[in-house]
Amino acid sequence: MTIHLFRGSKNRVHGLITHATHPWWPSFRGGNSDIYPGRASLPDGRKVAIKAIRILHGPPPGKDSKLLKASPAAEIWSKLRHPNVLPFLGVCDDERVALNPVLISPFYKFGHIGNYLTISYIKLELADRDRLVSGVASGLEFIHANEIVHGDLKVQNVLIDKRGVPCICDFGISKILNCHGYTSLGVGTVPYMAPELFAAESVSTTKESDVFSWALLVLEILTSDRPKRRPTRPFLTSQDVHALRPKRSEYDVQKVTDDYWAILDRCWAFVPSQRLSMGDVLGSLPDGAAKFTI
C-alpha cells in the first residue's frame, strides 16, 4: 500500500512514497485520530507515523474535503521547526490508506512520554527528568512565541525520539492567535485543563491555559505518576476546582524539589493573568533543568 505526501498544503512532493505497515490496525488511538506505522522512501528510509484524523459525523469525505479538514492542523504544524516540536513531513491524499485526512510525521518507537517514563530498562535519573522538563518548556515557549496555542498539552502529546529528546505533537485543536479562520476545536483533556476551561459558557484555550497544563505535565515527568486530585468530568464548580489544586504535602520533596514547586505553583494560579509565561518559566528553571535549555 502506498501514499503520496505533500509538504505544507500546496506543494506536492512527487515520488515520495510511504508503505503502511499495518493499514487496518493502528498502533495508537488518540482522542481524535488513529496512528499507523509506515515507511517512506526518504534518503534515510525512515519509519513514519501515519495519522488518520477521525471524522465523526457525515458521509466519508472526498479528496478535496479531506485536505480541507487536514489543512488547519497541517498549516499550524508546518510553521513550527524546533528541536522539541515533532517534525511535519506532509499530508496524504491516498484513499487506499484512509478515507479521512492523513498527516505524516516521523515514527518514534518510544511513543509518548508517559510510556517512556515507565519503560523498565530505562532508568531515569533526576538529570534525565530535568532534560525532559526543559525540552517540553523550550518547545512550548517556541510555539507561544509564534502566537500559537497548543490547546491539549498532555503526556500523550509529547513524543520521545531515539535520543530521548521530547517533541511536542498533535496540533489538531491548536489555534493561531490574531489570524482569521483559525479557532480551537476544543478545550483540551479534562485532567489537564485549566480551571477557567470548566466554565459552562463558551471558553477557549489560551497561552495561560497551556502553561497550566505544562505544570501538571511536569509533575508526571518528575514523579512518573499522574497528578493527584485531578478532575475526571468536564463541568465543575469553582469550589471543586480550588479543592483539586495540587498540594505540596502530596509530593515527595526528593522528586519535586522546592525550586520546582515554586515555579509550578505560579503556573497553576487560579487567575490566568497571574501565571508565568513560558519565557518566564525558562528563565526560572532550577539549575539542573536550565542547563538543558535551547
Q: What is the DSSP string of 48-84?
A: EEEEEE---SSSPP-HHHHHHHHHHHHHHHHT---TT
The residues with which 5 forms a beta bridge, in sequence order, are 92
Indicate whether 90 and 186 sit together in one domain: no
Least confident of 32-41, 103-112, 259-268, 270-279: 32-41
Over residues 265-269, mean pLDDT = 94
Grid cell 471558553 in the structure block, residue: 203
CA distance 209 to 281: 14
Query: Is 287 a known active-site residue?
Result: no
Query: Last residue of a domain, which of 71, 106, 141?
Result: 106
Indicate whether 151 and 281 sit together in one domain: yes
What is the tens place of the pLDDT at every residue in 52-80?
766 554 445 444 444 445 556 677 777 78
Higher pLDDT, residue 260 or 185: 260
Indicate whether 16 and 64 sit together in one domain: yes
What is the tens place of the pLDDT at every residue in 12-24?
333 344 555 555 5
Shortest CA distance to 84 belongs to which of 152, 2, 141, 39? 141
Question: Is the confidence at residue 105, as pLDDT, over 90?
Answer: no
CA distance 269 to 216: 12
Axis crossing angle, helix 126-145 with helix 207-223, rounded to the nearest 10: 170
Cell numbers standing for residue 264:
509550578
* CB distance 210 to 281 below 8 Å: no
Indicate whether 145 and 237 sit together in one domain: yes
Query: Last residue of a domain, which of 85, 106, 127?
Result: 106
* CB distance 104 to 91 below 8 Å: yes
Cell numbers standing for residue 153:
498539552
Query: Last residue of a domain, which of 44, 71, 106?
Result: 106
Q: Which amino acid is at 117?
A: L
Q: How many residues does the chain have?
A: 294
Shortest CA distance to 103 belongs to which of 26, 36, 28? 36
Strand stretches in 124-279, DSSP E: 148-149, 158-160, 166-168, 175-176
77: containing domain: 2-106
Q: Decide the pairing of beta strands 33-40 and 47-53.
A: antiparallel
Q: How many domains does the chain have?
A: 2
Residue 262: CATH number of its domain: 1.10.510.10
Indicate whether 200 and 76 sit together in one domain: no
Indicate whether 97 and 150 sit together in one domain: no
CA distance 99 to 90: 16
Catalytic option among 34, 93, 130, 152: 152
The pTM of this model reads 0.81
Question: Is the confidence at residue 183, as pLDDT, over 50?
Answer: no
